[in-house]
Amino acid sequence: MIGSSYTPRGPFSANNGAMFYQFELDLIIPLYFFTKEKYGVEQAQRNQAAAEAGNISNRQQIVLAVNTAYATYEQAKSQTQFLKDRQVPQADAAYKVGLTQYSNNGQGFNDLLTAQTQLRNLEIALAQAESNLLQAQAVLMVSAGKEPF
């Protein structure tokens, strides 16, 4: 803001001593500052969008991990139930039948050993399936954010 006064003293002005007053208002806009701020705001908006996208990606990965852990748990549970309910009882029945027939001289010793081996293998497979079930249950609980056992 500038204020001034003057008396015109030129060759074409009447020199009557009249005072003139002048008032000037200058407005200086620093364009560099606003441009820099504009780009800074745009960069902040892009960073926010990137953070939101990263957050969505993390949530999707968590949901995927929980779903995968649940699918593994269900598969281990089904395998354990199948072995426990169907295969081990059938192998046990086959072994008992083979033992009965061997004791009555109706079946050979090799057949009895084969039935016994199959029964033992299925019992081991059942123990491994139960172990896998417990591990899958622990992974599922940890994936869901709970303390296992």
Query: Is the pLDDT assigned to residue 5 strictly greater than 90?
Result: no
- For residue range 90-129, what is the model confidence (pLDDT) as tens digits? 999 999 988 888 888 877 888 889 999 999 999 999 999 9
CB 94 within 8 A of CB 119: yes
User: How would residue 44 be classed by pLDDT, with cut points 50, 70 and 90?
Assistant: very high
pLDDT of residue 7: 63
- Pick the more confident residue, 34 or 14: 34
Query: Is the pLDDT assigned to residue 147 strictly greater than 70?
Result: yes
- The helix/strand/coil state of 4 is strand
HSE at residue 110, side-chain half, CA atoms within 13 A, is 0
20 has which bridge partners? 6
Query: Is the pTM of the predicted complex or chain greater than 0.85?
Result: no
HSE at residue 25, side-chain half, CA atoms within 13 A, is 0
- Pick the more confident residue, 115 or 14: 115
